[in-house]
Amino acid sequence: MPDPLLRIEHLDAFYGDVQVLWDISLKIYPGEVVAVIGPNGAGKSTLMCAIMGLVRARGRGGPVVTYDGQALDGVSPEEVVRKGITLVPEGATVFPDMSCMDNLRLGAYSLKDRDRETALLEEVLTLFPKLRERSRQTAKTLSGGERQMLAIARALMSQPRFLLLDEPSLGLHPLMVSLIFENIEKINERGVTVLLVEQKVTFALKMSDRAYVLENGHVVLDGPGESLLGDEHVRKAYLSVS
């Protein structure tokens, strides 16, 4: 088995003096889809922010977050992105008064090669053809699902090796949820490793190689996604099965 692309060791995370995560350890290998599930307030989004360097984190000796063999402790969020990690935050965050095309180009702000930027645009517009139709519209005129597509497509413009997706299906109707998950699978098939935080547990576990269950700031379960679908605690707590 290859070395992990991302390794977290004994991570504690804080907002100010308030601790949100306790002793989190996990590994993500190249090419995997790994899901993190759990109730609201469990610390899932905080975990994503800790990887990106957006919240205060500490460990218990040694590097806390290691990516591709390099410690990310103390690295700025901008440098984390340059190293190949991109976060799509919860809520389809886009620039509402900018056109879809300008939002996408902003995702490639660090690229100096215009030909490569053009090629990337074609790749993401092929993956999300609805955005090609909407390319001149401002982002605020899009539906919720289209804004989520735009947020993911803009993240892909930074050429990530590792994509963090925080609740990509939030607030979307079922057909759009299915489309978003189909696109996540296509992104993964192109070689991008994915860490997925998701409330739609069945979707998340079926498509993930492995998953972690986060509750009250602690990892309480982990294992292959399909195996966790049959776990009694997961079924009772998240799948409404008694």
Q: How many domains does the chain have?
A: 2
Domain assignment of residue 120, given as a range: 93-158
Among 109, 139, 158, residue at a domain's last position: 158
Q: Is the pLDDT of residue 56 over 80?
A: yes
Q: What global pTM score does this model have? A: 0.92
Q: 241 falls in which pLDDT band (50, 70, 90)? A: low
Q: Is the pLDDT of residue 97 over 90?
A: yes
Among 119, 137, 158, residue at a domain's last position: 158
Of 35, 59, 57, which is closest to residue 209 (Cα–Cα)?
35
Same domain, 188 and 218: yes
Same domain, 150 and 185: no
Same domain, 167 and 55: yes
Same domain, 47 and 59: yes
Query: At which residue do the structure tokens 């889809």 appear?
Result: 33
Beta bridge partners of 42: none
* Mean local confidence (pLDDT), 189-217: 95
Angle between helices 114-127 and 100-107 (to 10 degrees): 120
Same domain, 127 and 149: yes
* Mean local confidence (pLDDT), 134-156: 93
| Burial class (CB within 10 angstroms; exposed 0-12, middle 13-18, buried 19+) of 98 | middle
Same domain, 209 and 149: no
Q: Is the pLDDT of residue 108 over 90?
A: no
* Mean local confidence (pLDDT), 217-237: 94
- Domain with residue 186: its CATH number is 3.40.50.300
